[in-house]
Amino acid sequence: MWFNLLVAILVIVVPAIWSTKAKGYGAFSSLLAAVSALAAGGIAFAFWEPFSYMILGWGAGMTGFAGDALTGSAFGLGLAVPYLGALLVLRLTLDSLIRANLDLGETLNMAGGALFGLVTSVISVGIFVISVGYLRLPSSIMGYAPIEERSGQVVYGSQLWIPADIIVTKLYERLSHGAFGSSTPLAVHQPNVYEAAGMQRMTYLDASRNTMREGDFEIVGAYMLSGAVDELSKDSFLVDPTGQAKKQVVIYPDGSSPSGAATLMGYAIRFKSGAKEKGGNVILTPGQLRLVCHDDETGDSFAIHPVAVVAPPEATASGLYRFRFDAPESFIASQGGGADTVFAFEFILPQGYSGRTLFVKNYRVGLESEAKVAQPRVYPNYQSRDRAVQDGSILSSFGSSAASGGGGSGGALNKVGSVRLDATNNRFEGVEEGTDIPGAYNFSRNNKGSLELNEQNEIIQGDTTFKKDKLTERGIDKALRVEKFASSKDTGIVKVSLSNAGTRTSIGRGVEATDVSLLPVLIDERGTRYEPIGFMYGEGDDVRLRYFPGLPLRALSDAPALSRTKRDQTLVLIFRPTKKVRIVSFAVGNNEIASFAGGFEVR
């Protein structure tokens, strides 16, 4: 209600001001303002995507509040800032070119000022509403929640009392085919942005990420089924008491449902480490994936959301499962600690429509230019699709590891120069399991620096440097003592030492000759790779702790460099692999540095 009132007041106040008798107002000045607003809106939509991506780039290397604020606000600021900047420049330019006002008489000035002022206010308020909608905010803003869930499907169910956002969207969609036309018109490639603004805020617990950056994911393949909607909405995983497959209710964002012939498109997407949440896993909701469908004959475009996702049922399971989005607050989360995760999202398109553009947490991928979806794998019916899901071939056919949900092998390992490590008393040299901080260090939560802790005094994430004496204090009250890293129910902590007080471990000696631009990884027996999510580095009196499950290291160079001229360096890499998997080797890039005889199971 309050947001509705705010929008109504803004829409009404602006024309009221422009219709006053004050100097500089009236019909002619109001007309100039309306022309400026109209042009500024076109400029804002044109620069919206590139400017948003620029903001995402600024936030990419940041951690903490600043990084979260920039990435979470990128698409809101990406529209609002160009609009305000263009509006200011255009208005100042017009004022400098047209220095005198026109007096059209009291009646015309009031009527014209109000009319053109209404144009300015609707455009400005509409862009304001869309911009706010794209911020990282809860699904309900000041009592306004435009998106409803019906049978697990996301539907645009409630518009504003004065729908300025809808009016602006339809205005610029129309202009994108005319005066403001381009090779990628808004109406074709991103229709109904007012709707998308609400959809992207349908995050997990109103708290998960709402953006992704270039390189955070890639489409690795596609598959399709054709037939009647009633058949496409079935699967072999959910049956009624008689053994018959149950149909799923399919509802589009406008509240309609497809009928008759249709096409089911599945897009397999590999999510990389940059897509992870703060807790170290990838989380998506149906509202955060948006497929723009286009009919080449009619030129019509509209957006739909997935009805199901193919994913591993649990971290160490073999085979896959098809999960329907058919319940309120549906979501899919990656399992375990693998570097990459592959999900296949399924959409049901009306007959005659094809997928034109796919948005994943607001990042746009043009499907027409994606070679990997140009020739989708065709399944004759849902039963054959389901068999491919059960045996994992639906993803492995795209080069993904079905058992791990796409962790993948990253290519064949070069084992030349690799050392074989044997366990002594069930322990491998330089390798330690457990959530304890390396070196048996501990400190008081009052001295945590920039580290973020949970209620159990475990380190959630952060990067800070301590003086060594602050990590060896005795007698710290248990209620204040910090000595462990936070993990999750399906991951464990493995610490790999490269150097201990200047003495290289076997793994550390092997790493010396490697390219520091490559990534160090632990590899399990299935070929799944696990990236380091942090490190502990000690030198002299300083000890640095870095621990970010959602922001793994991207190269060996992200960790402090070891030097033979420094005799007191300690460097321990911290990994968080999936529990119960068997780790068999340590590699840098595709170069195996060490193999673990018999491997070890992550606990």
Task: Give the single-character DSSP code of 436.
Answer: B
Give the HSE-up count for residue 82: Cα atoms under 13 Å, Cβ half-sphere: 23
Q: How far apart are the C-alpha atoms of 343 and 219, rounded to whole Å?
A: 10
- Alpha-carbon dihedral sign for residues 158, 283, 80, 363: negative
pLDDT means over runs of 10, the chain (603 residues): 93 84 72 94 96 92 81 96 97 83 71 89 97 96 94 93 97 92 88 96 93 93 96 92 91 95 96 90 96 91 96 77 94 89 96 95 91 91 95 83 47 89 93 94 93 95 93 90 93 96 94 92 93 96 94 93 89 95 95 96 93
- pLDDT attached to residue 537: 97
In this prediction, residue 396 carries a pLDDT of: 86
pLDDT confidence of residue 404: 44
Q: What is the spatial distance between Cα 278 and Cα 450, in angstroms, rounded to a whole number?
A: 15
Q: Smallest Cα–Cα separation from 100: which of 34, 26, 38, 35? A: 26
Separation CA 381–CA 391 (nearest Å)? 16
The tally of CA atoms less than 13 A away on the side-chain side of residue 523 is 24
Query: For residue 402, what pLDDT is reported?
Result: 38
Q: What is the pLDDT of residue 29?
A: 85
Within 10 A of 360 (CB to CB), how many other CB atoms are there? Answer: 22
In whole angstroms, give the CA distance from residue 10 to residue 160.
Answer: 13
205-243 pLDDT, tens per residue?
A: 999 999 999 899 999 999 999 999 999 999 999 988 888
| CB-CB neighbours of 213 under 10 Å | 17
Closest CA to 530 of 492, 484, 489: 492
